[in-house]
Structure 1
Amino acid sequence: MPCGLRFPHCCATIEPTFPHDAPPERRSAMKRWSVCRVLLPLIILSGSSPLFLQAEPIPRELQRWLTPQNWQRDTDGPILKLGRPGTFDDTHIFAPCVSLEQGTYSLWYCGSSGAVQDRMFVLGRADSNDGIHFNKNRQNPVFSFGDGEHSVLTPTLLRSANGQTLHENGRLRMWFSATDFHDETALHQLYEADSLNGSDWSEAGSDNLKHVYAPTILKTGRTYQMWFTDVSQDPWCIRHASSLDGSKWRVSPDPVLELDQNWESGRLFYPTVLRLGDAYLMWYGSYWTERENTTALGFAVSIDGLNWYKHPQNPVLRPDPERPWESHYVTSQSVMQLPDGRFRIWYASRKQPPFLNKYFAINTAHWAGPAQAETKPPARPAKVAFPEWQAESQAELKAMLGIPEQKVALESEKRGELERDGLVIEKWVFTSEPGSKIPAVVYRPKQLKAPAPAIVLTYGHGGSKSQWQYNYAAQAYAKAGLVCLAMDPIGEEERHIQGRLGTRAHDPKSVHERAWNAGRPIMGKLVFDTMRGIDFLQERKDVDPSRIGVAGNSLGGAVASWMAALEPRIKMAIVSGWAYDNVTLRSKYCTKVPNQRMRERFTWPEFLSLAAPNCAVLVMNGDADWIIDSDNDGTAWRGTRAVVEQAGRVYADQGAEGKVKAWFEAGGGHRPYMAHPDALRWIQQQLGTPALTTEQIKTMPTVNSGRWCDAQQIKLERLYGTDLHQRGATLADFGLTLTDRSQLACLKPEERGTPAFTLEGWLSQIERNE
């Protein structure tokens, strides 16, 4: 093979075994997670030669970080000790926060005097030329809460993704947790201060985020990301929050780290996070089950900062009984990658009981970092054909999405039709699966001389067949001479229990969990219904079954990406308003969880390559779309371009060069690009446009979406209804008008809200079948 492919022997799926007395919901959860542990063939795209290797189900770029961490202590004693009697830090010292700027290490720490029950912490500072030998600042303490009651705890500085200290408007930004230890509520709250020089700080201001302890904050693009210990209830866990200004925080709905390894006991605390390349790294503390009254440090990695994989050899830094000053605690830490590539950690420690000191000293150690990943071929490579790898991979992903293996008869029933502007709009109802039916409309030219190419639309969050951009695209495709199928997605419009539009009914966590635990993820349902749409089109005499494609925007772009990867019958996909990048793992449950599971098996180039060679994929985005590129720094688009380039080499190796492309509109936001003239050009190239010539498409007039929506009296959603996003879209102008929703209704009055057509009915059905 000219591309130098190497493949393993076919992998056998590992069938999980479950306790016979486990309740159904437990068996479902066990089955769900067992899917994630199956060994799969993976491609390592190196240059132009993909290598097919076996790997554990963890994103490949993270695996090198889960090798042993050999931390080396640098001193025979603490680098920072308790202060002299009578000073502010003569009894307790902990929570180092270290910065390296212009060759000087600055270490801020929390110190207190008095007995444990009377402690109140303030901030001290020490400086060093080597990160090991520190001198305390003569101005200490350099910061206090100011009311004589609240302690300054666990300070953190604003840092760039790789952990380097950031200044904003020439000033350092520091966040810390504060509490009054004499307050029965024990409330910990997030506060902020800033400084020009690190010694003179502004008055503390509250960010009004409660139950926060030990924050760590990185700025990635425009986004401030915080990981913190949630102390609202036992056991403590670690959570994530994001902000656009560092003041107003949105806490992610689920903990990102909880107690689940054998060494961990009681609580998790003190997260320290860096991001190097595509990997987020977290060191965190817990009580150590092996030795009473001790803490140790664990380590975890992530590709999105939300879904973490813990080190199998945790804890990676343990107390040392031979070093009395750190015999019991080695937590409350700061970690930095040094200019020479090594890592250095500064951590607080506690000596043996009796515990007169909450923490006793500050210490340091270094680690060379992980070895570089080897790219050796497997010991016993066995070549197999790309189609075999593709088929095996598609089968694994279909199983993960819960795509039913068997299909029932569609039992299609026509519910009427109407004519407008030279088009015919047919109304249909057909069966997707037992207990779940789909209302759908077909747009077609009134006159067709031969079986026509066809497109199935896929929808964004809250989208359905009556939403303006899909009604527009469907009419535009029909004007171009195609047949277009527009179906209501599960939970929207006529598949909503109250018949409402824009509900996003499948978004809530509770819905995701019900579907996922039943083995039928929401994304799998959206994809399977789209596959049934292909079945429906292939039964029609006016459709050419060899020329069918899909097109969708936003969530619909995500669905189109899965269709391209898994559905061999489609010849074209337009993936609009979506990225082939890890940034999509921060999205809503229906997209992020399947993508997280997919990324445990494949890289993004591999996922896109599953469409080769038959399905031509056009990825269309605006390069200013911060809805998808959430950091608003181009990360998602740089990643997508690289993925398309790498997948393009696989396409070329399979004889389909040029059939995967990335298209970007300069300055464009989250727009419905599937109705852009360039989308029509792609459709013509891949499927054909019977009613339009190449020259007609090239010279086609355009209309601004905002002006068109105003003319149709369409009220756009606040978030999307801006010139950057939906109001600024360029649409191929066919002189279209909006089709009234009432004209597109397919259901009889007595069918509306019944289980066969609703999300609730489908959930109940799959739970009964589970």
Structure 2
Amino acid sequence: MWKKKGLLFEVENYINDTIKSHAAIPFALHMNGDLFRIYFSSRNIEGKSLPYYIDCRVDNGSICLIGNPIGPILRLGNLGAFDDSGIMPSCLIRKEGKIFMYYIGWNPQVTVSYRLSIGLAVSNDNGITFTRYSEGPICDRSIEEPYFNTAPYVLLEGDTWKMWYISCTEWKIINNYPEPAYHIKYAESKDGIMWKREGTICLDYDDVAKALGRPCVYKKDDHFEMFFSYRNTDKYRTSKNAGYKIGYAESSDGILWNKLYQQTGISLSESGWDSNMMEYCHVFEHRGIEYMIYNGNDFGKDGFGYAIR
């Protein structure tokens, strides 16, 4: 079971000229020793998400933030580009002295609320500054995936880059508002840039999950484990029962997965910042202790907290 440690990054304590609300989709990157760097996105005065990081010390079951958030570390894309209205880091991975930051690019739409794509930025200075790999996305909608792709999680095994990502399958008008449904797919790459997508569905819809969000995947012993977000498509913004929760799944090969909701080990609190929603978690291990950083109510409006086990 996970033991909740409370709200770690409280947005209201860090409001500045660019950070006005939210701290969403946190990802903890190990730097050295007990030092980690948490990447996340916050919204500016226009409600557009931009990427930041804050350093922290992880030691004996506690996380202590150091200093103030740094950023934005990447500016919005050019007018009309896939990321001209929002950038949200989703996963970072080291390779040959570089850090690859896979991120979510946002565009507002007319008939539906938004369109999402997957972008890549690269750091050559140990994660302090990043440069776009390209003005266009590395994964976007296609003949086979006509709506959107988003929230990638990437692992490198040998020479194979593996990505679990969100694929939207449809939009529906629910209560006079367009709502998306999406599940989790799998892709591979030889260089982390050009991805081979074959439509492989890892986690699909069921009676519990009508939309499955941002996966977090890691290998443990001889199998893969995944924590993911799931919700209903109706009233998920207002109903505790329908809103985001965290789920768990296992796999022997990273492709065929078994959902084990009863083994997630963490649930909504009775009250407070994570009492209506829990989502967008990142799980990592340090010195024999597992840590989960995650968002709560209203998609990270209050910030992000953590739990240990």
The TM-score range, normalised by the shorter chain, is 0.7 to 0.9
Match among 193, 198, 216 for residue 121 of structure 2: 193
Q: CA deviation at 1:275?
A: 1.1
* Residues 157 and 256 (structure 1), Cα distance of their counterparts in 2 relative to 1, 3 Å cut: same
Question: After the TM superposition, which residues 416-431 of structure 1 pair with which residues of structure 2 at under 5 Å, given as runs?
Answer: none
For residue 224 of structure 1, what is the aligned residue in structure 2?
161
Q: Which amino acid aligns with 2:20?
A: D
Q: CA deviation at 1:192?
A: 0.5
Q: CA deviation at 1:314?
A: 5.3
Are the counterparts in 2 of residues 299 and 311 from structure 1 also a CA contact under 8 Å?
A: yes
Identify unmatched segments of 5+ residues in structure 2: 142-147, 171-179
For residue 293 of structure 2, what is the aligned residue in structure 1?
346
Match among 2, 7, 21 for residue 91 of structure 1: 21
Q: Which amino acid aligns with 2:66?
A: N
Q: CA deviation at 1:278?
A: 1.8
SS of equivalent residue, structure 1 residue 301: strand
* Residues 88 and 303 (structure 1), Cα distance of their counterparts in 2 relative to 1, 3 Å cut: same
1:347 and 1:312 map into 2 onto residues whose CA distance is 17
Q: Which amino acid aligns with 2:157?
A: T
Work out which structure has the larger RCO, using CA pairs closer than 8 Å and 6 or more positions apart in sequence.
2
1:238 equivalenced with 2:212 (yes/no): no
Q: Which amino acid aligns with 1:242?
A: E
Q: Which amino acid aligns with 2:208?
A: W
1:272 equivalenced with 2:221 (yes/no): no
* Residues 141 and 193 (structure 1), Cα distance of their counterparts in 2 relative to 1, 3 Å cut: same
Q: CA deviation at 1:183?
A: 5.7
Q: Which string of whole-angstrom CA distances, capped at 9 and with x for unpartnered residues, describes residues 75-124 of structure 1?
A: 4xx1101154443222122100111121211000010034xxx5211111
Are the counterparts in 2 of residues 299 and 315 from structure 1 also a CA contact under 8 Å?
A: yes
Q: Which amino acid aligns with 2:9?
A: L
* Residues 96 and 141 (structure 1), Cα distance of their counterparts in 2 relative to 1, 3 Å cut: same
Are the counterparts in 2 of residues 281 and 301 from structure 1 also a CA contact under 8 Å?
A: yes
1:138 and 1:253 map into 2 onto residues whose CA distance is 38
1:224 and 1:157 map into 2 onto residues whose CA distance is 13
Q: CA deviation at 1:247?
A: 1.0
Q: CA deviation at 1:146?
A: 3.6
Match among 243, 266, 271 for residue 317 of structure 1: 266
2:139 and 2:151 map into 1 onto residues whose CA distance is 15
For residue 151 of structure 2, what is the aligned residue in structure 1?
214
* Residues 263 and 143 (structure 1), Cα distance of their counterparts in 2 relative to 1, 3 Å cut: same
SS of equivalent residue, structure 1 residue 191: strand
Figure out how many residues of one structure are paired with residues of the other and give that number.
276
Are the counterparts in 2 of residues 326 and 349 from structure 1 also a CA contact under 8 Å?
A: yes
* TM-score scaled by length of structure 2: 0.81
Q: Which amino acid aligns with 2:198?
A: S
Q: Which amino acid aligns with 2:252?
A: I
Q: Which amino acid aligns with 1:263?
A: V
1:138 and 1:74 map into 2 onto residues whose CA distance is 21
Q: CA deviation at 1:138?
A: 5.5
* Runs of 4+, deviation exceeding 4 Å: 83-86, 182-185
Match among 363, 366, 382 for residue 308 of structure 2: 366
SS of equivalent residue, structure 2 residue 130: coil
For residue 121 of structure 1, what is the aligned residue in structure 2?
49
Q: Which has the higher strand share?
A: 2
2:91 and 2:202 map into 1 onto residues whose CA distance is 19
Sequence identity, in percent?
Answer: 18
SS of equivalent residue, structure 1 residue 254: strand
- What CA RMSD, in Å, does the superposition of the two structures yield over aligned residues? 2.3
Are the counterparts in 1 of residues 169 and 183 from structure 2 also a CA contact under 8 Å?
A: no
Q: CA deviation at 1:246?
A: 0.8
1:217 and 1:271 map into 2 onto residues whose CA distance is 10
Q: CA deviation at 1:361?
A: 1.4
1:269 and 1:284 map into 2 onto residues whose CA distance is 6
Q: Which string of whole-angstrom CA distances, capped at 9 and with x for unpartnered residues, describes residues 467-504 of structure 1?
A: xxxxxxxxxxxxxxxxxxxxxxxxxxxxxxxxxxxxxx
* Residues 197 and 258 (structure 1), Cα distance of their counterparts in 2 relative to 1, 3 Å cut: same
For residue 37 of structure 2, what is the aligned residue in structure 1?
106
* Residues 215 and 138 (structure 1), Cα distance of their counterparts in 2 relative to 1, 3 Å cut: closer
Q: Which segment drifts farther, 221-230 or 231-240?
A: 231-240
Q: Which amino acid aligns with 2:160?
A: T
Q: CA deviation at 1:346?
A: 0.5
2:260 and 2:20 map into 1 onto residues whose CA distance is 36
2:89 and 2:280 map into 1 onto residues whose CA distance is 8
For residue 208 of structure 2, what is the aligned residue in structure 1?
263
